[in-house]
Amino acid sequence: MRNAEAAGTDDCPVKIKLVAPPLYVLTMQTLDKEQGIATLNKAITACTETIEQHKGKLTVEEAPRAVSEGEDKQLAEHMARLRLDNEEFSGDEDSEEEEEEEYTGLGDADVDAVTEITE
């Protein structure tokens, strides 16, 4: 993710937001639509290369695109709902016995990363 942020420039800074593991959103604000989309594509490439070097996988859910202020607000609301859905509530906890069995090793760790890209 740091490599994706590093792909940004002073005119087009790339920001990464965690929606709910493993879903991330890359965003930026710029007046030059083409430069912004090119910078986001460069950030995606940098992030993909780094993740694949560590035997991971990045899936782009949506290609970079320009959005209006209304769409940006809808995205923020959607991200807030996903965060709330991801929070633990009372009763979510496992018993100590189950935790011991469940966390004795890495087992079948899922290393897939899903990313949604927007501007």
* Residue 48 in domain: yes
* Residue 97 in domain: no
What stretch of H or E contains 99?
helix 96-102
* Residue 61 in domain: yes
* Residue 77 in domain: yes
pLDDT at 31: 83
* Residue 100 in domain: no
* Residue 103 in domain: no
For residue 115, give every residue at least 6 positions away whose Cβ sits within 8 Å of its Cβ, in sequence order, or none: 23, 24, 25, 26, 44, 47, 58, 59, 60, 61
* Residue 9 in domain: yes
Residues of the chain with pLDDT under 70: 88-119
* Residue 92 in domain: no
CA distance readout (Å), 37 to 27, 41, 115: 10, 6, 16
Q: Which two tokens stand for residue 108?
A: 């079948």
Quote the number of domains for the chain: 1
CB neighbour class for 68 (10 Å; exposed up to 12, middle 13-18, buried from 19): exposed
Helix (H, G, I), strand (E, B) or coil at 89: coil
Give the phi and the psi of residue 27 in degrees, each rounded to 5: -135, 160
CATH number of the domain encompassing residue 45: 3.30.70.1130
Q: How far apart are CA 6 and CA 2, in angstroms?
A: 6
pLDDT at 3: 86
The percentage of residues in the chain with a pLDDT greater than 70, rounded to a whole number, is 73
pLDDT at 46: 93
Can you give the residue range of the structural domain that contains 79? Answer: 2-86+112-117
pLDDT at 89: 60
pLDDT at 113: 47
Q: How far apart are CA 5 and CA 25, in angstroms?
A: 12
